[in-house]
A and B are shown apart, each in its own frame.
Chain A
Amino acid sequence: MKILQYSLTLLIVLSLNFILPRMMPGDPLSYLDNSDPSVDSPMLLTEEMRQKLLAYYGLDKPLGEQYFDYLTGLLRGDLGWSIYYNAPVAQVLWGRLKWTLLLMGTATVIYLTLGIVLGAFSAWQRGSRLDLGLLFSTFAIGSWPPFFLAMILVILFGIRYPLFPIGGARDPLLAGATGLERAKDIAYHMVLPVLALVLSHLPGIYLLMRNSMLGVLGEEYIRTAYGKGAGDREVLFRHALPNALLPMLTMVAMRLGFLIMGTMFVEVVFAYPGMGTLIREACLARDYPMLQGTFLITMLFVIACNLGADLLYTRLDPRIKIA
């Protein structure tokens, strides 16, 4: 059932990706060359590129055949030809994806750890001044739109007090550096973007953890644990924490969409050479094949993570069976 649901979702996503460019007013290519005088085209399309595009879309064939070609193309890893970069979409994507994954991965590790520790602590000390303080700071931080937060960080720590670089992933002067120096340079450039991401996602995870922990602390088995003479430490680490962590798994997977959205904004503000910047560039240049490629990769990633979380959850929690 779960597998069926996910396959159906995947099929819908793929079909949407196929249909959208064909739903645009006029011919998908009329935006790109100057054949339609009413459209202000951002670039001139050479005849050679037009042929390439036509061959990719196969626009002269019937729709059913186009759809079939599109699906088989995807299976071969063919994501199309980027108009703006004049290179295969898959190749450009690959170069950008690693930066996004690096940024997202680092931020996720940090905000998950912090969020879980703070959330559990807050729930344990519920009602205390510390708990309230944490709760209110989360409210305050959590309300900032990620791009606004990122811009303020740039202004404060990049320009007012120039502690960190304001953009990019590496120093062009250190392009030839290897080993430790290269790693240091990359880490240095990552500080502000990661900080922005952590700040914008920490509140959500903290609240989820606090809430999950509060729920667990109200359960009968916690009372039982106290009743049999367990100490605070034992109750916290052996009974409360593992159970409170369980629902976090699904929640983290469900919040992935948010994370991607946040990463996109943060990358744009910091001109970080990842997928988010790529999406913005593709939007501005109307590079539709590129846009579709990035969309497809994002969707595949999210759906895979959701499926993984679902399957893992049924493993970890025997009370839930696959329906």
Chain B
Amino acid sequence: MKTLFSLVFQQKMTLVGLAMLGIFIGGALLAPWIAPHPPEQLYEPLRPPSSQHPLGTDDVGHDLLSELIYGARASLSISLVAALASTLIGLWLGTIAGYSEGQPGNYVGFMIMRVVDILMVIPRFPLIVLMSAFLQPGAGTLILFFTLFGWPRAARLARAQILSERTKDYVQAARLIGASDRRILIRHLMPSVLPIALTRFVIEFQHVILAESGLSFLGLGNPMVKSWGMMLSYAFRYPTIFITNLWVRWIVPPGMCITLVVLALTFLSFSLEIWANPRLKTWSARGITLTTHKPRIEREQATGFAPRTKPFRPLPRT
């Protein structure tokens, strides 16, 4: 009964996450059709909500609802592209690292992993703040920054997966038949990394959307790109924002949008992780689990421990 419950529960969470994300992405794509006004158009400033302007206007006269809908484009596109690029690059380099390791005379993997080690220690947000302050990046450069510091985690996970997978019998069998390295990599090893890569992508997406909005909030984004974070930044700089009721329609909507997107991604990463890690499946049957603690799993994958199949004794409740 409990198993059934958690399965439904888990699936529901996936669906809810996908639906929420879908609404936001759909809104971003359809912005020109669903936004009531063009975002650059100026009206009477600080208008209260009306049928013409459901959320009113800001201090220069932009329609807030239209700004919010167009803001989805900026926020989502930057994070989506950056997350995708980090995951793909990480996947690629991690696979190379995992595959070349153990081959005599091949130091490519070793070099890649040392770079990963270094990049993992540097806290990326302060560094991106500094780089943005100096170089005043546009959307493209910003994506580059996020990718530059985003790929190592994906690479580490991919490497660990490749290392554990390539010792398995079916890979050895493929090698015996005479399959080339290339074929083994693409046909057998890459697919096994996919679930991990997908989870990583979702988590990275989440990270970038938070970091991007934070950067804009600090006033370091591109003022021409009006993302949700930039809206919040403008709102925060408006002198009487907290005292009047203005915050209800100027701060809460963009803030809530970021929160809901992050929540949707949390749901997705949660259910993806259970799918990606069969070891967690036995646990999920007895409750819900969420793994953010990777090193342990990574270690076990690297050492090739068999996944636990025996259910453990249920603990007596106190």
Seen from chain A, the residues whose Cβ lies within 8 Å of a Cβ on chain B are 5-6, 8-9, 12-13, 16-17, 20-21, 23-24, 124-128, 131-132, 135, 139-140, 142-148, 151-152, 154-155, 158-159, 166, 204, 207-208, 210-212, 214-215, 217-218, 222-223, 226, 232, 247, 250-251, 256-258, 260-261, 264-265, 268-269, 279-280, 282-284, 286, 288, 291-292, 295, 298-299, 302-303, 306
What are 24 residue pairs bridging A and B, where the CB atoms are less than 8 Å apart in the complex?
A8-B118, A9-B118, A12-B122, A21-B134, A127-B287, A142-B266, A144-B259, A145-B255, A148-B255, A151-B251, A211-B291, A215-B296, A217-B315, A218-B283, A218-B312, A223-B312, A247-B296, A257-B125, A261-B126, A286-B133, A299-B122, A299-B126, A302-B121, A303-B122
In contact, A20 and B130 (Cβ under 8 angstroms) = yes
Interface 9-mer from B37-45, B77-85, B181-189, B213-221: B213-221
Interface centre among B117, B125, B130 (most CB of A within 10 A): B130
- Distance in angstroms from B266 CB to nearest chain A CB is 5
Within 8 A of A (CB), among B220-266: 220, 232, 236, 242-243, 247, 251-252, 255, 258-260, 262-263, 266
For residue B258, which residues in chain A have a CB less than 8 angstroms away from its CB? Answer: 145, 148
User: Which residue of B6, B133, B288, B292 has the most chain A CB atoms within 10 A of its CB atom?
Assistant: B133
Residues of A within 8 A of B242 (CB): 151, 154-155, 158-159, 166
Q: Is the CB of A145 within 8 A of B130?
A: no
Q: Is the CB of A212 within 8 A of B293?
A: yes
Query: A159-B243, A217-B312, A265-B214 given as contacts; is B133 within 8 A of A298 (CB)?
Result: no
Q: Are B123 and A260 within 8 A (Cβ)?
A: yes
Complex-state Cα separation, A295 to B126, whole angstroms:
7
B129 near A279 with CB under 8 A, answer yes
- CB neighbours (8 Å) of B266 from chain A are 139, 142-143
| Residues of chain B within 8 A of A264, CB atoms compared | 129, 218
CB-CB under 8 A from A152, the residues of chain B are 252, 255
Residues on B with beta carbons closer than 8 Å to the beta carbon of A16 = 127, 130
A148 with B247, Cβ < 8 A, contacts A127-B288, A223-B312, A260-B126 known: no
Residues of B within 8 A of A20 (CB): 130-131, 134-135
Give the distance to chain A from B148, nearest Cβ to Cβ, in Å.
Answer: 11
Contact of A302 among B2, B123, B270, B283 (CB under 8 A): B123
C-alpha gap A139/B121 in the complex (Å):
27
Query: In the complex, which residues of chain A have a beta carbon less than 8 angstroms from the beta carbon of B232?
Result: 147-148, 151
* A143 with B126: CB separation less than 8 A: no
Q: Which of B252, B255, B316 has the most chain A CB atoms closer than 10 A to its own CB?
A: B255
Q: Which of B118, B122, B124, B259 is A148 in contact with, Cβ under 8 Å?
A: B259
- Tell me the complex Cα distance, A257–B290, Å: 22
**From residue A41, how far is it (CB to closest CB) to chain B in Å?**
14
Question: Scoring B residues 1 to 25 as 1 if CB is less than 8 Å from chain A, else 0, what string do you get?
Answer: 0100010000000000000000000
In addition to A13-B122, A135-B290, A218-B308, 5 A-B residue pairs with Cβ atoms within 8 Å of each other are A128-B287, A144-B255, A207-B290, A232-B316, A256-B123
| Complexed CA–CA distance, A214 and B316 (Å) | 15
Whether A145 pairs with B214 at a CB distance below 8 angstroms is yes
Contacts of A257 in B (CB 8 A): 123-126
B106 an interface residue at 8 Å Cβ cutoff? no
Given contacts A126-B287, A152-B255, contact A232 B118 (CB under 8 A): no
In the docked arrangement, what's the CA distance between A205 and B114, Å? 28
Query: Judging by beta carbons under 8 Å apart, are A283 and B2 in contact?
Result: no
Contact A283:B290 (CB < 8 A) given known A12-B118, A250-B295, A302-B123: no
- Asked if B171 is at the interface (CB within 8 A of a chain A CB), the reply is no
Residues of B within 8 A of A208 (CB): 292-293
Nearest-neighbor residue (CB-CB) of A306 within chain B? B121
Contact at B317–A204, with CB atoms within 8 Å?
no
Q: Verify A143–B121 contact, CB threshold 8 A.
A: no
Q: For the complex, what is the distance from the CA of A132 to the CA of B129, rounded to whole Å?
A: 37
Chain A residues near B180: list those with CB within 8 A: none
- Nearest to B288 among chain A residues (CB) is A135
Whether B124 contacts A207 by the Cβ 8 Å rule is no
B286 CB–A CB distance under 8 Å: yes
Closest Cβ–Cβ distance, residue A248 to chain B (whole Å): 9
B103 at the A interface (CB under 8 A):
no
Interface membership of B168, Cβ < 8 A: no
The residue that A291 contacts in the complex, of B114, B130, B247, B295, with Cβ under 8 A, is B130
Shortest beta-carbon distance, A173 to chain B, in Å? 21
Instruction: State in angstroms the CA–CA spacing of A275 and B134 once bound together.
Output: 18
* CB of B302 within 8 Å of the partner chain: no
Question: How far apart are the CA atoms of A152 and B131 in the complex, in Å?
Answer: 29
Partner of A5, one of B114, B127, B291: B114
Smallest Cβ-Cβ distance to B134: which chain A residue? A20
Smallest CB–CB gap between B156 and chain A, Å? 12
Closest 3 CB pairs of A and B: A257-B123, A127-B287, A126-B287
* Residue with the greatest number of chain B CB neighbours at <10 A, chosen from A145, A146, A158: A145
Q: Find chain B residues with CB under 8 A from A269 CB.
A: 236
Which chain B positions have C-beta within 8 A of A147? 214, 217, 232, 236
A128 proximity list for chain B (CB < 8 A): 287, 317
B172 sits at the interface (CB 8 A): no
Docked CA distance A124–B219 (Å): 44
